[in-house]
Amino acid sequence: MNLPKNISDLIQGKEYTSDGIGMSKAKVMIFDDFVLKIEKISKQNDETVEVMRWLEGKLPVPKVICYEKDDEYQYLLMSRIKGKMGCDEEYMTNPQELTKRLAESIRMFWNVDVSDCPRTWDLDANLKEARYRVENGLVDVDKAEPSTFGEGGFKDPMDLLLWLENNRPSYEPVFSHGDFCLPNILMNDDGISGFIDLGNSGIGDKWEDIAICYRSLRWNAEGTYGGKVYPDVKSQMLFDALGIEPDMEKIRYFILLDELF
């Protein structure tokens, strides 16, 4: 692949590794000081870069170094945030500290002033995108939780979509990460080092990030990811650290919504 000259000049001769974590189809090259993300052209990528630039000084997120496009691809070169993922064994074996940091992370997003946020990724936008994905056969039901589709669950993605459209919860707007799973929260000895994978960030619902974080914590504790079980990690600890009662109806709603993405 021929890289744009501005980017090629910055990374020439530097060693890198490829990132295989996550469900993105992007090519990700990780250097010591940079991360290069290469994706097919989409309007969403342009919006993500705009949000990342807007977030400078507001949250610890990667700094956009260079953003280039050609006829087929978009190339985002950004600063690398170093740290261990929230699902690292160091934190999974210390659940009190982990859930304290997760709660701190969620509050950091809540505290961002969204008055001039350049992107809204609320339920209207989510459901519009979900309908597009369902109608175009883009939903992979094999990646859904076993109880979502089939006996005792929804007949198919369209059945789920119609339920989501007809059972919308009340809206509690905040700045939302959009994919607040443990691998996207980086930590170090001092606390939170930063947040990555901001492709769905923008003004969204308070409970969306809580729901995805809750599910990610549960999956990692149960061994769904990584294969190791951490019996001392209890999902309720996240709500204790946040100091709120869990709204399980809203949490279930946003987990089900995510099944269509």
Catalytic site residues?
179
Task: Tokens for 179, please give them.
Answer: 């994919």
Residues 193 and 102: their CA atoms lie apart, in Å, by 12
Amino acid at 144: A
Residues 256 and 211: their CA atoms lie apart, in Å, by 10
Task: Tokens for 255, please give them.
Answer: 């987990």
Q: Within its chain, how far is the Cα of 42 from the centroid?
A: 18
Residues 55 and 114: their CA atoms lie apart, in Å, by 10
Q: Which residue has the tokens 């939780």?
A: 145
Residues 172 and 65: their CA atoms lie apart, in Å, by 33
Residues 178 and 213 sit within 8 Å (Cβ to Cβ): no
Distance between start and end Cα atoms, the chain: 28
Helix (H, G, I), strand (E, B) or coil at 101: helix
Q: Which residue has the tokens 């996240």?
A: 238
Q: How many other C-beta atoms can be found within 10 angstroms of the C-beta atom of residue 190? A: 7
Host H or E run for residue 202: strand 202-205
Residues 6+ apart with CB under 8 A from 87: 182, 183, 216, 220, 225, 226
